């Protein structure tokens, strides 16, 4: 990026020199200095825009991650409550319901891994990632609600 801005500055100076060849040396120097100042301002503006865009994307991710971590923690609490209530079930029902609880727990753990791994391998589009995570959250929530309905919790 710095090379392209440097090329831009150089081309501005060169074009400024060609266009201002009828001016005195003092005017040419002054114009060139103004071009350099303008180019540096443009470079700073571009760098600031890049920093803001990067910050905003990171901020969106961090906010989304924090909100998802809250949901994951709530799911973990509900799953732990199910495990406690499962102890009161008969041996026959325990085996049946334990597999459902384990599946919910596994999906919740996978959700946590997915949200933590996004920055490491950000080959996925941000919107696709958000949609996939939201679907996972909704699926786990639906499983938890179905389990609660089946057990009248």
Closest CA to 147 of 88, 63, 85: 85
Q: Which residue has the tokens 């040396």?
A: 25
CB 89 within 8 A of CB 49: no
Nearest one of 127, 123, 125, 135 to 68, comparing CA atoms: 135
Residues 22, 136: Cα–Cα separation, whole Å: 69
Report field, pTM of the whole predicted structure over 0.95: no
**What pLDDT shows up at residue 118?**
79
The CA-based diameter of the chain, rounded to the nearest angstrom, is: 99
Confidence at residue 133, expressed as pLDDT on a 0 to 100 scale: 92
pLDDT on residue 95: 83
What φ, ψ does residue 119 adopt, rounded to 5°? -65, -30
Q: Could you say which residues of the chain have pLDDT below 70?
A: 1-23, 25-26, 28-40, 42-59, 119-123
Predicted local confidence at residue 82, as pLDDT: 86
């Amino acid at each position: 990026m710095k090379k392209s801005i440097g090329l831009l500055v150089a081309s501005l100076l060169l074009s400024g020199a060609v266009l201002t060849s009828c001016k005195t040396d003092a005017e040419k120097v002054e114009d060139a200095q103004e071009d350099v100042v303008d180019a540096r301002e443009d470079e700073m503006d571009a760098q600031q825009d890049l920093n803001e865009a990067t910050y905003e994307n990171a901020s969106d991710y961090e906010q989304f991650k924090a909100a998802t971590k809250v949901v994951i923690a709530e799911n973990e609490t509900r799953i732990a409550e199910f495990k406690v209530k499962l102890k009161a079930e008969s041996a026959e029902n325990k085996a049946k319901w334990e597999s459902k609880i384990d599946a919910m727990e596994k999906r919740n753990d996978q959700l946590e891994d997915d949200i933590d791994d996004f920055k490491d391998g950000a080959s996925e589009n941000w919107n696709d990632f958000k949609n996939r995570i939201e679907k996972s959250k909704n699926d786990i929530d639906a499983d938890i609600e179905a389990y609660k309905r089946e057990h009248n919790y």
